[in-house]
Amino acid sequence: MKKLSLVAVTALGLSLIAVACIWLSPSPTRPAVAQPLPTRLATIQDTTPLTPTIYLPLTMNGYSASGVPLQPADLTYLGAFAYPAPDDWAYSGHALAYYPDGDPTGPADGYPGSLYVAAHTWDDLVGEIAIPAPVVSDNFDDLPQATVLRPLTDITGGWKDNCTYNADCIYREVDGLEYLPNVDKIAWNLRDWYNTAGYDQDSLGWSDLDMSSAQGVWHIGDRPSDGNLFHNAKTCDYLFKAPEGFASQYLEGKWLIAGNHRQAGAFGGSQGPTLYALAPWEDGNPPASGQNLDALALLYYPEIYPGCLDDPNECYFPNYRPADDWGGGAWVQTSNKRGILIVGRKGLGDNCYGTPGETCGADPCDPYKGYHAYPYEPQILFYDPQELTEVVAGTRQPWEVVPYQVYRPTSEVLDPECGVLGAAAYDADRGLLYVTEREAGPWGETVVHVWQVD
């Protein structure tokens, strides 16, 4: 069965990349964005550490932002474990949420709680797994496998197959999960990563902990919005929590963070990762289907076409490549460190659109027609939350916020050449960071890497 699954996924890749030619083909009518470039551009592919910005302590409502931004050296690698074995759990790793009360046996092994995870990308089903003690090994067969606490099911209650915004709109993946303790729900985000029509469709919903009673779907931010500020292509992927004290002080109480990165930043997207703050429980309990949720735009990078695709120095995001892939995030706050971590894979080579070996050079990670920037590198971007307060205050533009540091876990992942970090979740009580590596096993299996934070 595994061999059939692998063949099926290969066929999927062929068909999707074939249509990607149409999706990502340059449009001669698309104007360039006439806005100033940021004054501070971090060099993402440079290995020189960046100098962090140090701020005076800020305390409000029990929240303290004292200290300095989190650094890669503050992360200690603990090892990894694998998703459950059956084929329907493979080719996954694109959505992850930590639930603190999920596994009654967790305290015995030192890793309490559970993870809600999106499984095979074809099925868009979600399950809950226990967290085994991770093992440090570069051999997939040495890693422990997670056990299933709740079997795979449609957490969206049919919404994933029922896009109502337009007769032609669809959803392709459940690409965001997060536990909402105040309403005891699991939030989920629906994404159409293709969406060549640029439909500004709804995406967000929530369900009970047993993944029943789905409610949604809602649009994050106003629609329509000036300049596509809240376009679905900027908001329809990862979900994670900001510290409630920070959100109370700076984000109007909006502590749920949503974002998305679309390849090439086309059709309403961003040429780099995004961050939006919202609090859907304040817009109704639940909000009405199709409702626009109040939201704050914290981070995005406007499309500069075609200049950014020809010259990375013209991009807002440092050394941007259309083949970059940012798919998950976590907000980390300790007693004296802070940081927003965005996980994914960075293209380090020259930007090229075409087929490897024909119009583009060799790319062993992606043999299909599309954007390429081989070689690639798994990366974790570090953003400073304090800079987002300047965005909210209007003293800094969202695209002027860039990573202050980059962590390159090439010695930790199983596939340092082609591996993609797909999603992240954070146990704030114990400082445990969980990050998926997609297709890390020999048959497309997903692996979860674990770090202890300071």
Residue 104 tokens read as 């009654």
Report the alpha-carbon distance of residue 275 to residue 269 in Å, rounded: 12
Strands 96-99, 114-118: pairing is antiparallel
Task: Give the residues across from 191 on adjacent strands.
Answer: 173
Cβ count within 10 A of residue 61: 10
Decide if 32 is inside a domain.
Answer: no
What was the pLDDT predicted at 107? Answer: 75
In a domain, 46, yes or no: no
The rounded distance, in Å, linking the Cα atoms of 42 and 51 is 10
- For the residues 424-442, what does the mean pLDDT come to? 97
Domain assignment present for 35: no
pLDDT, residue 60, reads 34
Q: Is 136 inside any structural domain? A: yes
Output 194 or 257, whichever has higher pLDDT: 257
Q: Across residues 370-396, what is the average pLDDT?
A: 97
| Nearest-angstrom CA–CA distance, 333 and 430 | 11
In a domain, 41, yes or no: no
Q: Residue 65: its pLDDT value, please?
A: 52
pTM of the model: 0.88
Q: What percent of the chain has pLDDT over 90?
A: 79
Q: Flag whether pLDDT at 426 surpasses 90.
A: yes
Cβ 2 vs Cβ 443: under 8 Å: yes
Residue 52 lies in a domain: no
pLDDT interval class at 109 (50, 70, 90): confident
Residue 50 scores a pLDDT above 50: no
Higher pLDDT: 13 or 79? It is 79
The amino acid at residue 366 is: D
Is the per-residue pLDDT at 28 higher than 50? no
**Could you read off the pLDDT of 298-326 as tens digits, one per residue?**
999 999 989 998 898 899 999 999 999 99
Average pLDDT over residues 431-448: 97
Q: Tokens 């024909």 belong to which residue?
A: 358
Per residue, the 3-state secondary structure of 342-401, as one string, reads EEEEEECCCCEEECECCCECCCCCCCCCEEECCCEEEEEEEECHHHHHHHHHCCCCHHHC
Task: Summarize the confidence of residues 249-268 as an average pLDDT.
Answer: 95
Please tell me the predicted confidence (pLDDT) of residue 66: 53
Lowest mean pLDDT: which of 13-17, 93-97, 205-209? 13-17
One-letter amino acid at 266 equals A
Is residue 211 assigned to a domain? yes
Q: Tokens for 15?
A: 């068909």
Closest C-alpha among 334, 275, 327 to residue 76? 334
The tally of domains found in the chain comes to 1
Pick the range with the lowest mean pLDDT from 40-44, 170-174, 282-286.
40-44
State the residue for tokens 């997609």.
Answer: 438
Q: What is the pLDDT of residue 285?
A: 85
Q: What is the CATH number of the domain that holds 134?
A: 2.115.10
Domain-located, residue 51 = no
Domain containing residue 232: 2-26+58-453
| Tokens representing residue 358 in the block | 């024909």
Tokens, residue 217: 């779907």
